[in-house]
Chains A and B, each alone.
Chain A
Amino acid sequence: GQQLNQSPQSMFIQEGEDVSMNCTSSSIFNTWLWYKQDPGEGPVLLIALYKAGELTSNGRLTAQFGITRKDSFLNISASIPSDVGIYFCAGQTSGTYKYIFGTGTRLKVLA
């Protein structure tokens, strides 16, 4: 099945650093969702985006809906140890019920 490409695949960062990751698609989406998954848990919705160019924040997290509608970006500012986990993007095309998920970015924070 189709999957979105997420970059980077994994990253180690120092506590306090800012983190950027992105998600790219060959298809246009009308909705982008960003999730975080902790070990042994289900993905938790962080941010939802609905319009091209939209910039939305949730605490230290900021996500953007790319202008081309084929990509999205997630930034985490001043990372802390509990930011560790796998971050997934998901895209949805208008008129469908199907969400396509990214391959995930594994974040590890060094205290």
Chain B
Amino acid sequence: DTAVSQTPKYLVTQMGNDKSIKCEQNLGHDTMYWYKQDSKKFLKIMFSYNNKELIINETVPNRFSPKSPDKAHLNLHINSLELGDSAVYFCASSQAGASYEQYFGPGTRLTVT
């Protein structure tokens, strides 16, 4: 039973398009995250939601908009895609105030052509 799942696994699209990535966790956690991993494998946090409330918003272009319809879901919408947006995007979740262990999804490899 997958703990943190993301769809799609791969996403190839052209510059200027709008796309969404979906994330779901069945761990009962109250905090979810989006990370971007670049070609050098550096993991950088983008956003975090706690109980559907945005709590972390790093320096990310406003073309990126996260949405959390409920505690178990966190989606990422990207407008007007650019070449530099090509990367692997990871969703993660944790339970603050408990173990603080953070679990990652399998990633979505976005390629912008």
Binding site for B on A (CB under 8 A): 1, 3, 31, 33, 35, 37, 40-45, 48, 50, 86, 88, 90, 92, 97-99, 101, 103-104
Contact = CB atoms under 8 A, between A and B. Distances in A.
B6 to A, nearest CB: 8
- Interface of chain A, helix or strand or loop or mixed? strand
Contact of B58 (A1, A31, A90): A1
B56 A88 contact: no
Given A43-B43, A43-B90, A48-B100, A97 B105 contact: no
Contact of B43 (A31, A41, A45, A88): A88
A34 B34 CA distance: 18
Contacts, number: 55
Nearest to B105: A42
A42 B31 contact: no
B41 A86 contact: yes
Interface residues of B, number: 26
A104 B42 CA distance: 8
Nearest to B103: A45
B55 interface: yes
Secondary structure call for the B interface: strand
Contacts of B104: 35, 42-45
B41 A1 contact: no
Interface string B31-42: 101000000011
Interface in B1-48: 4, 31, 33, 41-45, 48
B62 interface: no
Nearest to A1: B44
A45 B102 contact: yes
13 contacts: A3-B42, A33-B100, A42-B4, A42-B90, A45-B104, A48-B99, A97-B31, A97-B48, A97-B50, A97-B55, A97-B96, A98-B56, A103-B42
